Amino acid sequence: DGGITQSPKYLFRKEGQNVTLSCEQNLNHDAMYWYRQDPGQGLRLIYYSQIVNDFQKGDIAEGYSVSREKKESFPLTVTSAQKNPTAFYLCATTSWQGREQYFGPGTRLTVT
């Protein structure tokens, strides 16, 4: 079954703790992305990676970190430096051929 998986679906953390969101894909796409979605704010790009062992900051990278050690995986760490971490996080991939974007089901993070 091809696609993008994100886990967990819901995540709860205490303020001051780092948390890592998982994103795995079996679409064989080189490019992977992390977005944040807040009510009324639309989608905002956090980080993206076009190839293994390389990644770039998006529009709102402060307080986040990523790694890309394998083509299939692009985990996002929300650090304690992120001031407003509660949000819906979406992982996506892009095919080189056609440049079509695909999204995972999302992880809702709540920090209290």
Distance CA 81, CA 67 (A): 18
Interface with another protein (CB under 8 A), residue total: 22
Q: List the structure tokens of 61.
A: 């990278």
- Interface with another protein, residue 94, by CB under 8 A: yes
Q: Are 75 and 67 within 8 A, CB to CB?
A: yes
Using CB under 8 A as the binding rule, the residues of this chain from 64 to 93 that contact another protein are 88, 90, 92
The least distance separating another protein from the CB of residue 70, rounded to whole angstroms, comes to 19
Piece of 18-26, 41-49, 60-68, 74-82 that binds another protein (CB under 8 A):
41-49
- Interface with another protein, residue 22, by CB under 8 A: no
64 burial (CB, 10 Å; 0-12 / 13-18 / 19+) is: buried
End-to-end CA distance of the chain: 36
The least distance separating another protein from the CB of residue 48, rounded to whole angstroms, comes to 8
Q: Are 54 and 68 within 8 A, CB to CB?
A: yes
- Residues of this chain that interact with another protein (CB under 8 A) are 4, 6, 31, 42-43, 45, 50, 88, 90, 92, 94, 96, 98-106, 108
